[in-house]
Copies of this chain bind each other. A is one copy, B any other.
Amino acid sequence: MPRCLKWLFSFSLILLFQSATYATDGYKLWLDYKTISDSALLKEYQSLLGGIQFYGNSETIEKASREIQQGISGLLGMDSEKLNGKYRLVIGSYSNLPKDIAHQFSKELEYLNKEGYVIKSISNSIVITAKTDIGVLYGTFNFLKRLQTQQSIENLNITDSPKIDIRILNHWDNLDRTVERGYAGFSLWNWHQLPEYKDPRYEDYARANASIGINGTVLTNVNSNALVLTPQYLEKVKALADIFRPYGLKVYLTARFSAPMEIGGLKTADPLHAEVKNWWKNKVEEIYTYIPDFGGFLVKANSEGQPGPQNYGRNHVDGANMMAEALAPFNGVVMWRAFVYSEHDTTDRAKQAYNEFVPHDGQFKDNVIIQVKNGPIDFQPREPFHPMFGAMANTNLMIEFQITQEYMGGATHLVYQPKLFEEVFEADTYRKGKGSTVAKVIDGSLHNKKITGVAGVSNIGTDRNWTGHHFLQANWYGFGRLAWDPYLNSEDIAKEWVKMTFSNKEPFVEKVSAMMIESREAVVNYMTPLGLHHIMATGHHYGPGPWVSDLSRPEWNPVYYHKADNSGVGFDRTPSGSNATAQYAPEVAAMFNNLETCPEEDLLWFHHVPWNYKLKNGHTLWDGLALKYQEGVNEVAQMQATWNQLENDVDAQRFNEVKMLLNIQYKEAKWWQDACLLYFQQFSKMELPKGVEAPAHTLQYYQNLQFPYAPGIRPQW
């Protein structure tokens, strides 16, 4: 064959060899700009894109420019310098654009906030502009996404702004690089070698976050260590902040409430004590000398043994406002967690955060934002929305999701969580009548809030593919997208991610996104159907443990939550029980209180129901429960079947890795079904209905399983 073909051949061989070993290990996430395989479309894009002109000279613009070059050389398989198509790309912030172009955007700019962007076709150009260079970077990623997802780039007229201010990851990372509830390896932060050694992965992390609009990261665990506030560590934090800054990613830290004593040598951490206030004031000033755009603190106080203002007879307002005062001069914020439940409070744990915080509505300073978990217990496969949403009209309030799957199978189970996030955002609080959705509470529109935020507990670790399971990258991705716009549709997000990450091929996108959407209901069904919750094994929460009843704190025991007995199962939170429903708006409370109107998916969350209670489908509760477990297992089997059909559409490495994990997920779903049904059957004393597989082992077998080294907990070494 002709020499150049010979070379082409050898090149492609090496290329194949490389892609077989690299391009498919998942490291590149949704930013793997594989050359477009549809040659007609490839030609069309090549014919439409001309030269590229960047305006502005900030580091952020450099990153945007590098991104375009990488994107074009990958997607279009050609050097962006060589583009000679119809439209030139004009990229830069409003103030940097040539006046003649800029003036055409004054109208659009009015509608943007400082992170928003415009992408618009004008005469022979496609212009990407914004009020800030960060907005330009976001717009650049969006433009590339249009190519990745094979959309038209003609007659563009896109304006988009984030609907929420703080879009932030919470890393529960410890200074020894272990990660609490981490299932994807260990912490990305190599504290020992920082600040001198800058792992290239730090920038890849910031870039991935920027590509989905995440603009903040809390580096350290909410179960915090004061050492990170010492100069020795602030130097290291600064090194990370400097790498993240061009990507619009602000750094935050967890502040241990007792730090003034542990690293400040004070005798107290009383927030009303002058010395303490002063210590925090000086500490914050010191932090800003290292990191001029430091974001602020995340605080877990008087929760699960963490120190807090209550140790000194003060309340959350005293604690949060004290720190807020220190941060205010620098525009820093305090994210104060509402996740509190006292071992001395014998009432329903689900009621405690509301009871402790709502009475203080209006008392928190403007730069305090209360961080509330999506549900009233703790990141279960399904929870009703947290009653605090909408209940604090005069307090900044943000939502906390747990992207890492503490209660959903760690990194081993494919669970597409944006479906869960969407369900929460769409829930109606009725605080201002029908349509007062959680989304409107969180984006601030319901009560016109000063600061808004969405936090996600990170599922990212040192694993090569970042999240342990290739499909759990979609949860990081989808979290970012919904934090930017909580009104997006989770199915659209799934399809977008599949196209960017795997393939634009039609049946493939349909099948895989359908599998993802189904996965969330599957995990609810095989773990905690019909409103069951917190029946996981102790400590690591890996696997079922509905029988656990011997833990020191009542509300740590699964039996506290399911209350199964011969009369039935479920937690009565109606007025006849804990009356937790009273914390919701009257319309919502009424709906939950009434067995007829309470959604069956929340049935056992709110009601203690007899085993022979008739469900809407005509089955008894016992039969319905058993059938739900079976349904969950069957859904995982369906996911396996779907994936196995797709072997030829996915590279070998990702196909096999996902296949192995789906096999584990199926095995564990069955384990959940068998263990839970055997346990509850002791009380229902009823036979398994037709269509439900007999358990593989005895109840005792499941009760005896031990997993002392399950990941995500304090190392046992």
Binding site for B on A (CB under 8 A): 2, 4-5, 7-15, 17-19, 21-23, 28, 35, 70, 73-74, 77-79, 174-178, 180, 185-186, 191-193, 196-198, 200, 227, 410, 412, 462, 464, 653, 657, 660-661, 663-664, 667, 707-711, 714-717
Contact B709 A192, beta carbon cutoff 8 Å: yes
CA of A146 to CA of B490 in the docked complex: distance in angstroms? 55
Smallest CB separation, A216 vs chain B (Å): 24
For the complex, what is the distance from the CA of A708 to the CA of B233, rounded to whole Å?
Answer: 12
Pairwise interchain contact A711-B79, C-beta atoms closer than 8 A: no
Contact among B17, B174, B709 for A73, CB-based, below 8 A: B17
Among A175, A176, A177, the most chain B Cβ lie within 10 Å of the Cβ of A176
> Which of these, B174, B192, B714, contacts A710 with CB under 8 Å?
B192
Tell whether, in the assembled complex, residue B717 and residue A14 are in contact, meaning their CB atoms are under 8 Å apart: no
Of all chain B residues, which has the CB nearest A185?
Answer: B462
Per the bound structure, the CA–CA distance linking A12 and B18 in Å amounts to 12
With a cutoff of 8 Å between Cβ atoms, the chain B residues found around residue A11 in the complex are 8, 11-12, 15, 77
Alpha-carbon distance A78/B227, docked complex (angstroms): 55
In contact, B78 and A10 (Cβ under 8 angstroms): yes
Do the beta carbons of A18 and B7 come within 8 Å of each other?
Answer: no
Partner of A715, one of B178, B709, B711: B178
Q: Is the CB of B13 within 8 A of A73?
A: yes
A19 touching B17 in the complex, CB below 8 Å, given contacts A197-B664, A710-B192, A717-B714: no
Given contacts A15-B18, A196-B663, A227-B708, 19 further A-B contacts (CB under 8 A): A9-B79, A10-B78, A11-B12, A13-B78, A14-B15, A14-B73, A14-B74, A15-B15, A18-B18, A18-B23, A174-B716, A176-B709, A177-B711, A185-B185, A192-B707, A196-B667, A200-B653, A462-B462, A714-B715
User: How many copies are assembled?
Assistant: 2
Min distance, Cβ A417 to any Cβ of chain B, angstroms: 20
- Of B13, B74, B180, B657, the residue contacting A17 (CB under 8 A) is B74
B660 to A196, Cβ gap below 8 A? Answer: yes
Bound form: Cα–Cα A410–B192 in Å: 11
Task: Give the chain B neighbours of A412 by CB distance below 8 A.
Answer: 193, 197
Query: Which B residues touch A715, using CB under 8 A?
Result: 174, 176, 178, 714-715, 717
Q: With a CB–CB cut-off of 8 A, which chain B residues contact A15? A: 11, 14-15, 18
A-B contact pairs, 29 of them (CB 8 A): A2-B4, A4-B5, A7-B8, A10-B77, A10-B78, A11-B12, A11-B77, A13-B79, A14-B73, A15-B15, A15-B18, A21-B22, A21-B28, A22-B23, A174-B715, A174-B716, A174-B717, A176-B711, A176-B715, A176-B717, A178-B715, A191-B709, A192-B707, A192-B709, A193-B412, A196-B664, A196-B667, A227-B708, A464-B464
The answer to whether A178 and B717 have CB atoms under 8 Å apart is yes
A562 to chain B, nearest CB (A): 27
A76 to chain B: closest residue by CB: B10
- Looking at the assembled complex, report how far the CB atom of A55 sits from the nearest CB atom of chain B, in whole angstroms: 25
Complex CA distance for A28 and B198, rounded to whole angstroms: 21
A2 CB contacts on chain B under 8 angstroms: 4
Q: What is the chain B residue whose CB lies nearest that of A713?
A: B176
Q: Is the CB of A77 within 8 A of B14?
A: yes
A200 to B35, CA, bound (A): 26
A534–B307 Cα gap in the complex (Å)?
40
* CB proximity of A403 to chain B, nearest CB, Å: 19
With CB as the reference atom, state the residue of chain B lying closest to A6: B78
Question: In angstroms, how far is the closest chain B Cβ from the Cβ of A239?
Answer: 11
Considering only CB atoms, which chain B residue lies closest to A706 in the complex?
Answer: B232
CB closest chain-B residue, reference A463: B462
Flag if A176 contacts B716 (CB, 8 Å). yes
A126 to B191, CA, bound (A): 52
Give Cα A711 to B78, complex, Å: 44
A666 CB to closest chain B CB (Å) equals 10
A4–chain B nearest beta-carbon distance, Å = 5
A653 to B661, CA, bound (A): 32
A685 and B70 CA atoms in complex are apart in Å by 62
Known interface pairs A8-B8, A175-B709, A708-B227; A664-B193 also in contact (CB < 8 Å): yes
Give the nearest-CB partner of A661 in chain B: B197
A667 and B195 CA atoms in complex are apart in Å by 13
